[in-house]
């Protein structure tokens, strides 16, 4: 299965994950500081910054795009409960 590497910059941990993994599946287990509210892409609590590797993330869904826009997110922001890692290297941090 194709793999990807996600680095949580705030705690200095890189996790090797199967392609398609959502950040929400691992960020809490690994102890990163991304926090969640609804866990369903509605509240934007889990907004995080993609420091690098946005090209390795899934496209924003209509829902995610709408919620990000309503919260005035920059192009570098994604919802950790929605965004999937598709391959390669991705570096994220809370915010």
Q: List interacting residues with ligand FES (CB under 6 A).
A: 36-39, 41-46, 79, 81
Spatial distance between the Cα atoms of 42 and 18, rounded to a whole number of angstroms: 25
Determine if 74 is a binding residue for other proteins (CB under 8 A). no
CB of 1 vs ligand FES, minimal distance in Å: 25
1: nearest Cα among 14, 15, 20, 29: 20
Among 1, 2, 62, 72, binds other proteins (CB under 8 A): 72
Q: Which does 12 bind (CB under 5 to 8 A by kind): other proteins, ligand FES, none?
A: other proteins
Q: Which does 70 bind (CB under 5 to 8 A by kind): ligand FES, other proteins, none?
A: other proteins
β-pair partners for 49? 77, 93
Contact 17, 1 (CB under 8 A): no
Q: Which does 65 bind (CB under 5 to 8 A by kind): ligand FES, other proteins, none?
A: none
Q: Which stretch binds other proteins (CB under 8 A): 14-22, 50-58, 73-81?
A: 14-22
CA distances from 72 to 16, 29, 47 (A): 31, 28, 11
């Amino acid at each position: 299965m194709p793999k990807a590497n996600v680095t949580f910059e705030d705690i200095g941990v890189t996790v090797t994950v199967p392609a398609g993994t959502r950040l929400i599946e691992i960020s809490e287990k690994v102890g990163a500081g991304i926090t969640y509210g609804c866990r369903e892409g509605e509240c934007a609590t889990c907004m995080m910054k993609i420091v690098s590797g946005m090209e390795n993330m899934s496209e924003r869904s209509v829902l995610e795009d709408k919620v990000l826009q309503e919260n005035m997110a920059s192009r570098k922001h994604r919802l950790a409960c929605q965004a999937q890692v598709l391959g390669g290297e991705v570096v994220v941090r809370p915010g």
